[in-house]
Amino acid sequence: MPVRTSRVVSFDDLRDLLTATGARLRDAVPLAELTTLRVGGPATVAECASTDALVATVRELDAAGIPVLLIAGGSNLLIADDGFDGVVVRIATEGVEIVGDPDRGEVAECSVIAEAGANWDAVVAATVEAGYGGLECLSGIPGSAGATPVQNVGAYGVEVASLLRRVRLLDRATGEIRWVEPAELGFGYRTSILKHSAAAVVLAVEFALRADGSSAPLGYRELANALGAAEGESRPAALVREAVLRLRAGKGMVLDAADHDTWSAGSFFTNPVIPDADVAAVRAAIASHVGPDVAVPTFPAENGVKFSAGWLIERAGFAKGFPGEGSPARLSTKHTLALTNRGAATATDLVTLARRVRDGVAERFGIRLEPEPVTVGVSL
């Protein structure tokens, strides 16, 4: 990787540097405008509407040693109130192509290729409207297509890792562009080798589709019940998408400018996976506070047991809407796993609330919750 040395570069110098790249340069842009949490201070933004512009811009900035922050949908970012001392490269590529046999042959022959900046829910909608299945359980998730493999986005029993065919990456150290197979991306629960790493830029993604228009097998009880199906069954992708959107909207998880419960980064904490050796002690700690007869929601996980972060937060004393009316940053009024901006919150307000919730759960149950969003210029 090129060494990034922080230095002051004038806007005029940046404009000269990036003239030939095709990027559109803007100065002193409030980053709150580019994130779903709607917080973040000012920065210079280079908007790239084509993959060629994106590659050229990143290469020029890297060669000049100028710090780079990549933003597309901005749905998983918590950026400091001071902004970013470098250049924000806004990924605004939007191409979507569905590749499939018009006679609807083998499922393996059907896929969708989306450029990194394409709106993710629009990608899902396009595949469902074209009569293909596979992505419907990931409906309504805010953000861009290129961000989905970075943190192995998942919902309603489906993860990106199980659907992804390949990712097109720009290697920032070598300048090489190539398609990468899922096995190379080190997927885990809400993570991959791309997360918290500046080594590569996602340029495009390709996902497998189901040619017959059926959904992925329903692996989440709430969704299966909403569709009157048994877990493991499939339903038409269009029906599943409608159900997913209803469920997410009911939890404030579908973007709506008029609803401050959606001014969030989605689930702020990941569900903690407790190693098998520690599960008994955690269960004992929970029982001592909530009682031995209270059912504790858990899920199987590799080398351990996954506990519900939202359940732990609520049982630790943090109710929906905490800390209450008048607070600029609050837990969602619809569920306790989202931290929300009520209209005037700062990054500092959100960090303060996140620490309070995290520390309260740790004190009560001995479990340290890990944040899901990527932080820029702030520490949790």
47, 281, 291, 298 from 277: Cα distances, Å: 49, 8, 22, 15
Residues 6+ apart with CB under 8 A from 65: 2, 3, 4, 5, 7
Residues of the chain with pLDDT under 50: 1-7, 106-107
Query: pLDDT value at position 109?
Result: 72
Q: Report d(CA 1, CA 11) in Å as an integer.
A: 25
DSSP 3-state percent helix, strand, coil across the chain (nearest 5): 30, 25, 45
Question: Domains, the chain, ranges and CATH?
Answer: 11-91 (3.30.43.10), 96-250 (3.30.465.10), 260-376 (3.90.78.10)
Run of H or E including 26: strand 24-30
Which pLDDT score is estimated for 103?
59
What pLDDT shows up at residue 303? 86
Judged on CB neighbours under 10 Å (0-12, 13-18, 19+), 348 is middle
Task: Tell me whether the omega of the peptide bond preceding residue 67 falls within 30 degrees of 0, making it cis.
Answer: no
What's residue 9's pLDDT? 82
Asked whether the beta carbons of 330 and 337 are under 8 A apart, the reply is no
pLDDT tens sequence across 346-367: 999 999 999 999 999 999 999 9
> Which pLDDT score is estimated for 5?
40
Q: What are the residue numbers of the active site?
A: 190, 267, 372
**Distance (Å, whole) CA 92 – CA 304:** 40
Strands (E), 238-356: 273-275, 298-301, 304-307, 329-331, 339-341
In this prediction, residue 100 carries a pLDDT of: 78
The pLDDT of residue 4: 40
For residue 302, the model assigns a pLDDT of 85
Residue pair 149/192 in contact (Cβ under 8 Å)? The answer is: yes
pLDDT for res 367 = 96
Which residues, other chains included, contact 254 with Cβ-Cβ below 8 Å and sequence gap of 6+? 140, 142, 245, 248, 262
> Residues near 359 by Cβ (< 8 Å), separated by ≥ 6?
none
Write down the pLDDT at residue 105: 53
Q: Is residue 227 left, alpha or beta, with left meaning phi > 0 and alpha meaning psi from -120 to 50? A: alpha
